[in-house]
Structure 1
Amino acid sequence: MPGSDEYYLYETNEKGEQVLVKSLRSEKKAYIRFVNRTSRPVSVWWRDYNGHRQHYVIMPPNSYYNTDTYISHPWEFTDACTQERYVINNKQIFRAPECIANVQTRTTWYITIGVRSLLSTVMLSVASRLNNVEHVDALGLPKMLANELKSLVDKLRTQVVINHARR
Structure 2
Amino acid sequence: MDEQEVHNETRSVRSLNANVRTSVNFINRTKQSARAWWLDYSGHPVSYGDIGTNELLSMTTYLTHPWVFRASRNGAKLLANQLGVYMPTATTEYEEDEDPKFLDVFITTPVYSLQEYCLVLIRKLVQEEDIGRLEIPEALRGELRQRPDLLKELEVINSNR
TM-score, L = length of structure 2: 0.69
Partner AA of 1:144 in structure 2: A
- Figure out how many residues of one structure are paired with residues of the other and give that number: 133
In the other structure, the counterpart of 1:73 is 65
In the other structure, the counterpart of 2:135 is 140
In the other structure, the counterpart of 2:108 is 112
Instruction: From the superposition, tell whether residues 94 and 143 of structure 1 become closer, same or farther in structure 2 (CA, over 3 Å).
Output: same
SS at match of 1:24: coil
Instruction: From the superposition, tell whether residues 95 and 150 of structure 1 become closer, same or farther in structure 2 (CA, over 3 Å).
Output: closer
Q: By how many angstroms is 1:75 displaced?
A: 0.7
SS at match of 1:119: helix
- The answer for unaligned runs of 5 or more in structure 2 is 1-9, 95-99, 148-161
SS at match of 1:93: coil
Task: Work out whether residues 45 and 53 of structure 1, in 8 Å CA contact, stay in contact via their aligned partners in 2.
Answer: yes
Which of 82, 87, 91 is the matching residue for 2:83?
91
SS at match of 1:96: coil
Name the CA distance, whole Å, in 2 between partners of 1:45 and 1:32: 14
Partner AA of 1:78 in structure 2: R
Name the CA distance, whole Å, in 2 between partners of 1:55 and 1:134: 29
SS at match of 1:122: helix
Higher relative contact order (CA 8 A, sep 6+): 2
Instruction: From the superposition, tell whether residues 21 and 137 of structure 1 become closer, same or farther in structure 2 (CA, over 3 Å).
Output: closer
Q: Give me the CA root mean square deviation.
A: 2.4
Partner AA of 1:108 in structure 2: D
Name the CA distance, whole Å, in 1 between partners of 2:24 and 2:141: 41
SS at match of 1:141: coil
Q: By how many angstroms is 1:143 displaced?
A: 2.6
Q: By how many angstroms is 1:115 displaced?
A: 2.7
Instruction: From the superposition, tell whether residues 60 and 141 of structure 1 become closer, same or farther in structure 2 (CA, over 3 Å).
Output: same
TM-score, L = length of structure 1: 0.67
In the other structure, the counterpart of 1:52 is 44
Name the CA distance, whole Å, in 1 between partners of 2:135 and 2:53: 33
SS at match of 1:26: coil
Name the CA distance, whole Å, in 2 between partners of 1:64 and 1:73: 19
Partner AA of 1:63 in structure 2: E
Moved over 3 A (4+): 131-139, 146-152
Name the CA distance, whole Å, in 1 between partners of 2:133 and 2:44: 42
